[in-house]
A and B are shown apart, each in its own frame.
Chain A
Amino acid sequence: MSALRILVPIKRVIDYAVKPRVNKAQTAVETAGVKHSMNPFDELSVEESVRIREKKSAPGGVEDICVISAGPAKAQDVLRTAMAMGADRGIHVEVKDGDELEPLAVAKLLKATVEKEKSNLVILGKQSIDDDAAQTGQMLAGLLGWPQATQASKVVFGEGDSVEVTKEVDGGSETVRAKLPMIITTDLRLNEPRYASLPNIMKAKKKPLVKMSLSDLGINNERRLKIVKVTEPAPRQGGGKVEDVDGLVSKLKELGAL
């Protein structure tokens, strides 16, 4: 079996516990001074890659775990976090704040990287919690012509480059088998990401981090979707509380729900 050269794309997003606010101009969500962290699904991708190496679950072994992020300078923070979790090295594709790439552009960037780095497995999160698009992994698979297994909850390596992936689907789960090279996107149930320990955070500072630009990879940031406006959702007013079950039943009847 081929040794794995795993590429793990990660994204810096507003922390999942923060309630995002729309800016005054209604052009975007306010990001200045807001806590950011690694997209939770990407933590699962990093964790899975590191576990594949630690558990020696791939017959060919793991040769390289490379994390990549496209974004402003602060994207390096999440790359360091991923390296502290066990990734070997990082690539930072610098994109100016406010010049975010759409999933199609990210997929093109990743395709160029896969070819350059000779990756044979790309593990991505199933979606980023900011844009909620859920597209990049599938687009990359399409551009490369590789098999894809989305929303993975279990990854098992077999003989002869075969990989069996259990996917979360509507109503349950489904298992598919494909051969490397392939694309996997992670679902929440895949694993529980580790916390980076202090010594590992220190070590991660010494791991190689290469800086690149979009043009180094032959990519333009061509945007196809124009954001017309961003608004707050219509607020929902709580209707107050009732004293007991009888009150609940009669209120539900009054609202026409029973």
Chain B
Amino acid sequence: MFAVAARRTLLRPRSALATSAPSLRSFLSSLAILEQREGQLNHGSLSAITAAQKLGGPVHAFVAGGGVKSVAEEAAKIDGVEKIIAVDNAAYDKGLPENYAPLLVENIKKGGYTHILVGHTAFGKSLMPRVAALLDSQQISDITSIESENTFVRPIYAGNAIATVESSDATKCITIRGTAFPAAEIASGTATIEDGVDPKAESASEWVSEELAKSDRPDLATAGKVVSGGRGLKSKEDFDKVMLPLADALGAAVGASRAAVDSGYADNSLQVGQTGKVVAPQLYMAVGISGAIQHLAGMKDSKVIAAINKDADAPIFQVADVGLVGDLFEKVPELTEKIKSS
């Protein structure tokens, strides 16, 4: 059934889209895709709205899942959003790209949008390229800035180079680096809520289960402070004993380098870097992390970087605003105590 739906969308001539938007300049309109989980709006996904607002032109937001009415109502309070398009169907709860992509494509075509935006999260990364392919559009991934309606800035080579690219596609599919666009705030907006089109495409995959790391600490991707541990922690026990009290004293999220994750000291959802999460908190404290380029890719836009490492020549000190050379097993507990007592 899905195959039939996909074929239908693929065969539809591109001119159908073009006629609904004959000129980009005069008809720019954006659709921001919101994430929800069990009827709760993911506030991190509101970065897509901020980015859409920077483009100018009307902004609509899209949300789908079972019982998403309350999510739509919450999102409708964001200032500057004209319309929330909601599709109430539990088939979209898990955001499976096989049915979510054709759902989006139908709604994009109906709305004649020129710009489609979503966070560069696991959900956005899995979904958007599939949507882009169905629209025959070359996606622009993980943008950090918008220069104009067709020109965007994105890091390449693990953030070692910054590319400015100009898209010639009629429909621009874009994923947003969350740390570069603050989440739009829920205020006193009065967007209308409209039911979206539901093609009811069947998913060719089914959701089986999930295992999410439970934590009372702030979310790593959006935390104001992050303390991150590396191979220097030596074991999982030491990682927990040294890093967790420091995180709690600071009210910080815990992160880790790939070395620490690969050695089993920390859960892989905590990994900061090119292949893990990209963070840009007010304070990033790197403990026992040498500072490989893949790690720096995930944290070098932090406001203040502090480093504690016993190797005075570790590359992390080249980017740290403040560095302390010493044994982390002595320095970190001392620091934790001093923060607690101050």
How would residues 314 to 342 of chain B score, 1 for a CB under 8 Å from any chain A CB and 0 otherwise?
00011111111110000100110011001
CB–CB A103/B139 < 8 A: yes
**Band of interface residues on B:** 35 or more
Counting from the closest, the 5 A-B pairs by CB-CB distance are A142-B133, A224-B138, A138-B129, A172-B212, A142-B130
**Cβ-based interface call for B238 (8 A):** no
A-B contacts besides A150-B122, A227-B163, 11 pairs, CB < 8 Å: A129-B157, A134-B129, A138-B97, A138-B127, A153-B268, A171-B213, A173-B211, A178-B205, A224-B169, A230-B162, A238-B317
14 contacts between A and B (CB under 8 A): A20-B161, A29-B156, A129-B274, A132-B141, A142-B134, A170-B277, A175-B209, A228-B165, A231-B161, A231-B164, A232-B162, A238-B321, A244-B324, A247-B324
**Cβ-based interface call for A249 (8 A):** yes
CB–CB B158/A103 < 8 A: no
**Band of interface residues on A:** 35 or more
Contacting residues, chain A, for B96 (C-beta < 8 A): 176
A138 to B308, CA, bound (A): 40
Indicate which residue in B126, B159, B250 contacts A233 across the interface (CB closer than 8 Å). Answer: B159
Indicate which residue in B101, B121, B151, B323 contacts A241 across the interface (CB closer than 8 Å). Answer: B323
How would residues 91 to 130 of chain A score, 1 for a CB under 8 Å from any chain B CB and 0 otherwise?
0000000000011100100000000000000000001011
CB–CB B268/A168 < 8 A: yes
The closest CB in chain B to the CB of A234 belongs to B162
**Cβ-based interface call for A36 (8 A):** no
The closest CB in chain A to the CB of B139 belongs to A135
The closest CB in chain A to the CB of B325 belongs to A241
- Asked if A151 meets B122 with Cβ closer than 8 Å, knowing A231-B161, A240-B322, the reply is yes
A235 to B256, CA, bound (A): 23
Contacting residues, chain B, for A22 (C-beta < 8 A): 161
CB–CB B138/A104 < 8 A: yes
A182 to B162, CA, bound (A): 34
A69 to B291, CA, bound (A): 32
A122 to B274, CA, bound (A): 24
CB–CB B158/A226 < 8 A: no
Expressed in whole angstroms, the minimum distance between the Cβ of A174 and any Cβ of chain B is 4
Indicate which residue in A149, A224, A238, A241 contacts B167 across the interface (CB closer than 8 Å). Answer: A224
**Cβ-based interface call for B98 (8 A):** yes
CB–CB B324/A148 < 8 A: no
**Cβ-based interface call for A255 (8 A):** yes
The closest CB in chain B to the CB of A185 belongs to B126
Expressed in whole angstroms, the minimum distance between the Cβ of B211 and any Cβ of chain A is 5
CB–CB B165/A172 < 8 A: no
CB–CB A135/B294 < 8 A: no
CB–CB A133/B209 < 8 A: no
